[in-house]
Amino acid sequence: MRTKLDAVSAGAVLVTVLAFSATAPLTAYAAAPAFALAFGRNALGLFTLGPAFLLARRREVRRVLSGERGLVRREQRRAVLFGLAAGTALAVHFATFMTGAQMTGVAMATALVATQPVWQALIATAQGRRLSRPAWTGLAISVAGAMAAGGADLGTGADAVAGDVLALVGAIALAAYTALSEEARPDVSTSMYSVLCFSVCTVEMLLLCLVTGTPPVTFSAQAWLALLGLLLLPQLLGLFSLNFALGRAPATAVSVLLLLEAPVAALVAWLWLGQIPAASAWPGLVMIMLGVAVVVIGDVRRTPSPTGLPGQDRTGLHTLLQHPILATAPPPGEDVYDRIWCDARLGRLNEAENTIRRLENHAVRSHGARSAEATHWIEVRAHAAHLSGDGRLAVHLWLSAARFHADLPEADTARTRLCLEHAFTEWRHLSDHTAILELAPALREMYTRHPNDPRDHRRWSGSARAVDARLAVHGSDPTTPPP
């Protein structure tokens, strides 16, 4: 992974933006029922790419379908349930966004659906994650921009306002799809999960067409041309160029550059379809994109990496603009992490530990025992302990990782903070009285260190007081280690 955006990566992102920005203009150009277009786009993508993915993952397909008492193996059932829910969210996204793109302007629909990271941040907050102040600021800017842009549409008729609302619902549904996918992805590969979601989405869109009396495949030549464009541009070209860019460039930079999709789509709609947003809508559109950019950048240090651990080097993946397309392959090494998380969830800690130890030894040989690469596997162990339900071990491991980052010649305050937050969260949920008393002194000692950043000092002092308060409840002197 490169840390800077070179010319080749920038070119790949530009191709991705151009490919994705064609979605709304092609939908408006098709002049066909939106439900039928959504069904056609998903069906074409599924039947074109799905067989290749299933063939490439044929061993996993056999494993998934080899359950003795049910359709799938026990460890796969959770992923299947989340996949069904995510596929439904994806169907809602396509149905609302593509309908909204036909009812309101292309620029407005694209800008509103680009607020997906904002809703993703709100979902993360509901799940107990804390957002940074810049992320909250960006969220407020985006909401204000959406209200301003939507208000500008009030004078153009009820259809335009309804289209705005549908595009916004499409963004929320896309955020829900992403959140559900995060829950399921540790248990199945990217390819299998993508095929599952798009199969559910395609079937549900077909049912929606039948229920509403929309002919699912009766298209004009113009509509078929638009469908072909939707397959070739966002579904294929956009897919491969995005994967190529993410393999070379920082995901945060890619996320921000993908925000160009809305203005490029507006330009395409103007040159091709003659659509020009009202002058009063432009300030709101600019505020929406500015707010989303602030959310993406502001949430960088809290984003989970492909390993499933927050705050690793590959930043920006949590709020990376999500385009619902079939994924070709997982990031390098993803299957290794999938196997570790799956073993941990099923209580197979020995198997998970063997995998971690092998990779840790390789990191030690390549980078040294006190390298960041070696310490990363302590964090992986901690996360595996959490998944297996061993909170006591997870606290020990997160504290070990925090000490490493704090004791570096130039202390990594951000990594120390993240590891301590994980340690405190695990400790706070412990129910074993002995474990609470045993681990509290080490946790408190880390919090009483004085970081360079005054803001961290205030935060850590507050956490130390929280530790003292819980110890007092358990009848222990906060300043004295347990016997």
Per-residue pLDDT tens over the stretch 450-481 = 555 555 555 556 666 777 777 776 665 544 44
User: Among 278, 205, 217, 220, which Cα is nearest to 29's?
Assistant: 220
Residue 170 has pLDDT above 60, yes or no: yes
What's the pLDDT score for residue 454? 53
Looking at per-residue pLDDT, the higher value among 202 and 178 belongs to 202
pLDDT of residue 313: 37
**Per-residue tokens: 391:** 């909170």
Q: What angle do CA 201, 67, 180 make, to 5 degrees?
A: 35
**284: its two tokens:** 């709101």
Say if domain 334-473 classifies as CATH 1.25.40: yes
- State how far the Cα of 336 lies from the Cα of 359, in Å rounded to an integer: 10
The mean pLDDT of 237-247, rounded to a whole number, is 75
Contact 281, 112 (CB under 8 A): no
Q: Greater confidence, 111 or 296? A: 111
Give the position of tokens 């196997």.
339
Structure-token match 């099923």, residue found:
346
Distance CA 103, CA 98 (A): 9
Q: Which residues pair with 304 in a beta bridge?
A: 310
261-300 burial, b at 16+ Cβ within 10 Å, e below that, comes to bbbbbbebbbeeeebebeeebeebbbbbbebbbbbbbbbb
C-alpha–C-alpha distance, residues 64 and 52, integer Å: 17
* CA separation for the pair 60, 188 (Å, rounded): 9
* pTM of the entire predicted model: 0.65
At 310 the three-state DSSP class reads strand
CA distance 321 to 308: 18
pLDDT at residue 65 is higher than 90: no
What pLDDT is stored for residue 154 in this prediction? 72
What average pLDDT is seen over the chain?
Answer: 78
Q: Give the model's pLDDT for residue 310.
A: 40
pLDDT over 60 (residue 223)? yes
**Cα–Cα distance, 96 to 75 (Å, whole number):** 33
Whether residue 90 is predicted with pLDDT greater than 90 in this model: the reply is: yes
pLDDT surpassing 80 at residue 418: yes
Residues with Cβ < 8 Å from 211, sequence gap 6 or more?
A: none
For 305, the 3-state DSSP assignment is coil
**Segments making up each domain of the chain, as ranges:** 7-302, 334-473
For the beta carbon of residue 96, count every other beta carbon within 10 angstroms. 25
CA 146/CA 150 separation, integer angstroms: 6
Q: What are phi and psi of 271, to 5 degrees?
A: -70, -35
**Mean pLDDT score, 236-258:** 72
Coil/strand/helix, residue 202: helix
Does 165 or 120 have the greater pLDDT score? 165
Q: Render pLDDT for 309-361 as a digit per residue (tens, 0 to 9).
A: 443 433 333 444 455 655 444 443 445 777 788 778 777 777 788 788 878 87
Tell me the mean pLDDT in the region 26-43. Answer: 93
Closest CA to 342 of 66, 65, 76, 73: 76
> In this predicted model, what pLDDT tens digit does every residue of 180-200 receive, in sequence order?
877 765 556 667 778 888 899
pLDDT for the residue numbered 66? 63
What token pair was written down for 460?
Answer: 């850590």
DSSP 3: S
Q: Across residues 13-36, what is the average pLDDT?
A: 92
DSSP per position, 46-96: HHHHHHHHHHHTHHHHHHHT--SSSSS-HHHHHHHHHHHHHHHHHHHHHHH
Better-predicted residue by pLDDT, 253 or 73:
253
> Tokens at residue 196, please?
């599952």
The winner for highest mean pLDDT among 28-37, 254-263, 432-441, 468-477 is 28-37
- Write b or e for each residue in 309-330: b if 16 or more Cβ atoms lie within 10 A of its Cβ, otherwise e: bbbbebbbbbbbbbbbbbbbeb
Please state the φ and ψ torsions of residue 129, each to the nearest 5 degrees. Answer: -85, 145
